[in-house]
């Protein structure tokens, strides 16, 4: 039986997403079974960049405008500097031949890692299944997460 | 013997508190034994809104004024916008019939989840037992937390 | 065989570092085997304050200027107020006879806790082995972390 890892990605920040996917990819290459759960701002990481927020009213419209999805639009938790920080980090990653987040997401998917959106925050933010990238798996609730985590050796909340 | 979960809530932000209580409630309804530890800014989540910071000096006075307790005063980790963000999230939660944080805290308590304040940061912030909501359990130190976590399957730091 | 704890310190903020080292010290005094992994901004916590960022180009120069290392230069995740917040916390810690972070790092090291820098983010930020305090152990990759975590009962991401 495979060793198991679960990762909740709550944060929608580039640096935390890089940490999460780096751990996920490394664990999967070590033949561990990895499940990632994306909740709250973390949903942005697996949203299509053109994926729009559904639902009526000005609040969801504001969410749509401000809380832009897509892995290439993420901010840094520190030194974001209006987008200069993320640009710099991406450049430095390229300099040391590290794959970018978009490639890491594809690699993660190809390694068989499950990428599950949290159904509760998905509903809260007016997202539906068309909002997510094709690599994302069908959304699920906290009970599914807890079942997985209860059988895993490593459980992280990022 | 019950499966066990521990959650450290370090953050005093509304979105992270919602995640923590959602996991706690779901785990408790799945018949898991859940223990929550509130430390640093997380103490604000289980503080009375009128609960004042104790101790002398201008620093504790500043803490009292700025670091306002009470689950209804929490900010968002993103898009706080001077309180507009939390108001919007609360409204969206109401729209999808999700209970508010105050109700979630009561439900969590009723499900038998322990809610323990960290005694070290409680002292640091000049709080005493009168500072907390009635649902909170007596505070404890890091050793109590580690004992619990060492016997739990799922340990999260939020 | 000893109970095991791993702590990833991703954050470079004073309050989160205090939480991480408080847990590490308490666990080590309870005779648990503790391993700490410092990644991304967390690398700043075990950097020499005079340790400079290596590498050419204006981006690493900016990182060097802005992302200053050393445990005495850390910010707070809340109420940083241009350095007033960290100063206040340090003063309040002194008032209740709590050791400062620098002392906690020394105590942690003396208790035999391993302090490992993440080699990937070390490279990304242009740091080398001379960048770190003498208490730090040689850097390692995510696979070493996952091996440790897979055999630990408590795994935290802070």
B11 vs A contacts (CB less than 8 Å): none
Please, how many CA atoms are within 13 Å of residue C19, restricted to the half-sphere of its CB?
A: 31
Q: How far apart are CA A143 and CA B23, in angstroms?
A: 8
* The pLDDT value given to residue B141: 97
**Cβ-based contacts of A41 with chain B (< 8 Å):** 15, 77-78
Tens-binned pLDDT, residue by residue, of chain C (158 aa): 999 999 999 999 999 999 999 999 999 999 999 999 999 999 999 999 875 566 667 777 777 777 888 888 899 988 887 888 899 899 989 988 999 999 999 999 999 999 999 999 999 888 988 999 999 999 999 999 999 999 999 999 99
Per the structure block, which two tokens stand in for C101? 């972070």
Is the pLDDT reported for residue A56 higher than 70? no
**What's the residue count for chain A?**
158
Give tens-digit pLDDT for B134-145.
Answer: 999 999 999 999
With CA atoms as reference, the chain B residue closest to A60 would be B92
Q: What percent of chain B has a predicted confidence (pLDDT) above 70?
A: 96
Residue C50 confidence (pLDDT) = 72
pLDDT score recorded for residue A64: 74
Predicted confidence at residue B129, as pLDDT, reads 85
Q: Do C143 and A26 touch (CB under 8 A)?
A: yes
A59-86 pLDDT tens trace:
777 777 778 888 988 999 888 878 888 9
Q: Looking at CA atoms only, how far is residue C124 from chain B in angstroms?
A: 26
Q: Which site among B15, B36, B75, B113 would you substitute to test the A interface, given the most A Cβ atoms closer than 10 Å to its Cβ?
A: B15
Do A92 and C124 make contact, defined as CB atoms within 8 angstroms? yes
User: Which residue among B3, B32, B154 sits closest to A155, beta carbon to beta carbon?
Assistant: B154
What value does the mean pLDDT take over residues A131-143? 96
Question: Which tokens in the block code for residue C13?
Answer: 């903020």
What per-residue confidence (pLDDT) applies to C55? 64
A11 close to A41: Cβ distance less than 8 angstroms: yes
Q: What is this structure's pTM?
A: 0.94
Distance from CA of C158 to the nearest CA of A (A): 8
What separation in angstroms does the CA of A30 have from each of A135, B153, C3, C118, C154?
21, 22, 23, 18, 20
Residue with more model confidence, B121 or A65: B121
Could you tell me if A69 lies within 8 Å of chain B, comparing CB atoms?
no
Q: Do C59 and A88 touch (CB under 8 A)?
A: yes
Q: In the prediction, which pLDDT does A53 show?
A: 62
Reported as a single tens digit per residue, the pLDDT across B78-107 is 888 788 889 989 998 998 899 999 999 999
pLDDT at B155 over 60: yes
* A111 reaches C (C-beta below 8 A): no
Partners of residue A34 on adjacent β-strands: A5
From chain A residues 4-33, the ones with a CB under 8 A of any chain B CB are 8, 10, 12
Count of pairs with CB atoms under 8 A, one residue in A, one in B: 61
Report the complex ipTM.
Answer: 0.92
Token pair, residue B93, equals 């939660």
Using a CB-CB cut-off of 8 Å, the residues of chain C touching B12 are: 78
pLDDT for residue C54: 64
Tell me the pLDDT of chain A averaged across its residues. Answer: 92
Question: Inter-chain contact B141–C89, Cβ cutoff 8 Å?
Answer: no
Provide, as residue numbers in chain C, all residues whose Cβ is less than 8 Å from the Cβ of A27: 142, 146
Spatial distance between the Cα atoms of C2 and C33, rounded to a whole number of angstroms: 6
**Rounded Cα gap, residues A117 and A140, in angstroms:** 6
| Contact yes or no for A142 and B26 at CB 8 A | yes
Cβ contacts of C120 within 8 Å, gap of 6 or more? A22, A98, C39, C141, C142
CB nearest to C40's CB, from A19, A32, A98 = A19
Chain B environment of A125 (Cβ under 8 Å): 92
B89 interfaces chain A, CB cutoff of 8 Å: yes
b/e string for C57-86 if b means 16 or more Cβ within 10 A?
eebbebbbeebbbbbebbbbbbbeeeeebb
The residue among A3, A40, A75, A77 with the most chain B CBs within 10 A of its CB, best to mutate, is A40
Cβ-nearest to C39 among A19, A77, A92: A19
Neighbouring chains to A with at least 3 Cβ pairs closer than 8 Å? B, C
């Amino acid at each position: 039986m495979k060793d198991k890892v679960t990762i909740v990605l709550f944060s929608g920040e580039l640096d935390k997403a890089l940490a999460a996917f780096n751990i996920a990819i490394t664990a999967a290459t070590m033949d561990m079974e990895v499940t990632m759960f994306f909740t709250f701002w973390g949903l942005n990481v697996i949203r299509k960049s053109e994926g729009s927020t559904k639902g009526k009213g000005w609040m969801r419209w504001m969410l749509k405008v401000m809380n832009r999805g897509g892995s290439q639009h993420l901010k840094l938790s520190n030194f974001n500097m209006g987008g200069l920080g993320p640009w710099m980090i991406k450049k430095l990653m390229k300099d040391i031949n590290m794959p970018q987040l978009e490639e890491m997401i594809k690699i993660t998917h190809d390694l068989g890692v499950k990428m599950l959106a949290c159904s509760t925050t998905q509903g809260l933010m007016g997202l539906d299944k068309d909002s997510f990238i094709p690599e994302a798996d069908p959304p699920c609730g906290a009970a599914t997460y807890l079942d997985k985590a209860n059988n895993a050796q490593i459980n992280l909340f990022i």
